[in-house]
Structure formats: C-alpha cells, structure tokens
C-alpha cells in the first residue's frame, strides 16, 4: 500500500501528511493533507472486494441526486499495481451531535425516502459491509425481502453450522406471515446500512450519511436499523414521524427488518449474534 505514490500518479503531487483514521473494519482509512485541500481515502485489496468502491461511489451519487441529505463527494478511484484499490472522497470535519442535528437527520431522511421507483431493488448488486448484496428487481416487497435479503444469508449461516433445521422451520413460518405484517408501501430509496457509525454531523451540525448499501426498499428497513447498536436520539424519530408518518406497529415490526443486518453480523462475527436471530424468528 502506497498512498503517496498513488497521489503522485493521480495529482502529480505528494501529500504533506497522511494520518490514519480509526473506525473502519473493512477498509484502512486515512486523512490526506495537501497544501490546498484535505481528502479522505479508503484502501482495500482489489481482488478481495471486487468493485466495492465503484458500488459505493454509485450509492453516494444516487443519494446526492435526491438533494435531501449530505453525502461525501466521491473524488477518484485508483486501482494500483500493488494490488490495492484507493477511493478518495471529500473530507468532512465532524461536528457536534446536537438536538438540531438529530432533528435535521430525521427530516432529511424522510425527504430521501420520498424518492421512489417502480420496483424494489437496484440496477446493480452492491455490498453491505463486506457481504455482497443482491438487488434483483421485484415488484413485491415480501418476495424481495425473502429472496434477496434473508434467505441467501440464512442459507450461508445454516451451511456454516450457525442454525439447524428447526430454525429453518421457524423461518419458513415467518415467511408465510410476512404479507400480513409488512405495511404495503411504494419502494423508497434507502441508505441500507443506517446505523450510528454511518452518519455524523458536519461542522455546522448538519447531518451527513456515508458508507451506503443503497437500493429501493421498504423505508422501515432504514428506521429499524437505526435502533440497533444503541439507536439514535428521540428527536430523530419525532422529526421523521412528523415529516413522513409510519403506520402503527412499527416498533413490533422492527425486529423482522433487523433480521437482515443481524444475519450479516452472524456471517461477519459469528455466534454472538445467533441468539438474536433465533429469538426473532421464534417470536413471530
């Protein structure tokens, strides 16, 4: 890995300073300082995650075109001969997570969710974390949720030994009830991986979202995932609800949507997340 060399190739100049940034579990991340600008760069193995940065760039641009919530501007992707890929994006200074920030995040996310499409899915597959995400078009949310979200990951986890045939029977029972559980809504453009680690305030306390796993899905997927891993401040939920009200019963449905990110975590981190999945599939 040679960030200085890549910068010299791309911009014909070497950065004054390269500072490692913590927080990423998939990519190595750095703050790159030039005299006239500062950039953020992600680095990973080209062969390990094919086209990951191209998919991320497309997701950032798709969200940006909605003029709803700020995302970092993609700058340049370079696949170097050292076997690494480098994704340079706009560097955004982190600000204070104030009440204003959470209110704006709720309002802006609601605005983004009003951008719709004829079908659920996306015109390309992408990633959620380091897990490939299938986005085949479907006009039925339940079918999309089962075929593109839950079933492929559950099968991988089953084959690995995390689940057994009894768990599979409970899941099949849940599948049969989904049409009676999920409210019918138009496809909404969603972030797809919206937890607290993928959003922050900028220096003016305006919300920024990043590391997307975008597709047109049920908007409650985003809202449900915000409740994992600590959740967001109450002002976020009040603001969203005022801007784009949810049907009654969302808090009960949230667990079902969160089967997807929990299965992702089972595949990435193992048995510590298995009990949560089993609890949910037995609950319904």
Q: In sequence order, which residues have a C-beta less than 8 Å from that of residue 155 and are 6 or more positions away? A: none
Q: Which two tokens stand for residue 119?
A: 């079908």
In the 8-state DSSP scheme, what is residue 138? B
Q: In sequence order, which residues have a C-beta less than 8 Å from that of residue 159 and are 6 or more positions away? A: none
Which DSSP string do the residues of 61-84 spell out, in sequence order? HHHHTTTSSB-PPEEEEEE-TTSE
Burial 234-255 (b: 16+ CB within 10 A, else e): ebbbebbeebbebeeebeebbb
Residues classed as catalytic: 193
How far is Cα 161 from Cα 159, in angstroms, rounded to an integer?
5
Residue pair 126/133 in contact by the 8 Å Cβ criterion = yes
Owner of token pair 């138009």:
186
Q: Which two tokens stand for residue 272?
A: 């510590």
């Amino acid at each position: 890995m040679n960030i200085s060399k890549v910068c010299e190739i791309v911009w014909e100049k070497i950065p004054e300073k390269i500072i490692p940034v913590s927080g990423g579990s998939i990519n190595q991340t750095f703050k790159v300082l030039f005299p006239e600008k500062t950039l953020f760069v992600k680095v990973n193995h080209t062969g390990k995650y094919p086209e990951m940065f191209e998919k991320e760039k497309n997701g950032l641009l798709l969200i940006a075109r909605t003029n709803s919530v700020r995302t970092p501007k993609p700058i340049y992707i370079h696949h170097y001969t050292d076997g690494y890929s480098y994704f340079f994006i706009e560097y955004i200074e982190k600000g204070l997570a104030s009440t204003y920030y959470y209110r704006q995040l709720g309002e802006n996310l609601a605005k983004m969710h009003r951008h719709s499409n004829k079908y659920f899915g996306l015109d390309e597959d992408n990633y959620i974390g380091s897990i490939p995400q299938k986005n085949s078009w479907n006009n039925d949310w339940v079918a999309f949720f089962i075929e593109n979200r839950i079933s492929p990951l559950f099968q991988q986890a089953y084959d690995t030994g995390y689940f057994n045939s009894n768990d599979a029977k409970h899941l099949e029972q849940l599948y049969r009830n989904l049409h009676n559980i999920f409210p019918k809504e138009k496809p909404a453009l969603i972030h797809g991986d919206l937890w607290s680690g993928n959003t922050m305030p900028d220096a003016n306390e305006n919300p920024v979202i990043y590391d997307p796993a975008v597709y047109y899905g049920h908007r409650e997927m985003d809202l449900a995932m915000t409740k994992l891993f600590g959740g967001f401040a109450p002002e976020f939920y009040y603001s969203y609800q005022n801007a784009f009200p949810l049907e009654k019963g969302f808090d009960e449905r949230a667990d079902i949507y969160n089967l997807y990110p929990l299965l992702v975590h089972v595949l990435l981190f193992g048995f510590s997340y298995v009990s949560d999945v089993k609890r949910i599939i037995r609950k319904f």
